Chains A and B, each alone.
Chain A
């Protein structure tokens, strides 16, 4: 399961628009360094940035 899928499972109200470049408030990134996807920016006005524990708990 990708990071995007975990986040949208945790917060079902999120849509692709929340992740869009420029207009979105959440930016995910992968630097192809073996560390995988990560949250580069989280500026959502109402939802808190999920903790690693929350993300790890998503099946």
Chain B
């Protein structure tokens, strides 16, 4: 059995702020990430999929299909965007790396079977880094 991991990058801005608590509580919770005009990151997203070899290609994952799925669902809508304003779900939820990772995982999972028609490969995990110092990993079976 193989697990293939592909790394993608995009740059985007965000602001961590929730209207559910006070200004002061936001500042305490999110620190500099709550500054009113937002700030940006170079996000690194690793997508891992598991599967057996396909006989005709000697590969476990068709990378052209995976790249196109990630381009359409993640890179195109998020690259050089303000996540809070331009990605619908973050009008209602805080774009922390946790929530962003879950959103990316959800987008890939929902559209997976329309591009990968057979039983394999299966989406396994999404790993996201906002900076090189913190990483968040989400298993596909943890999200709807």
Determine if chain A interacts with chain B.
no
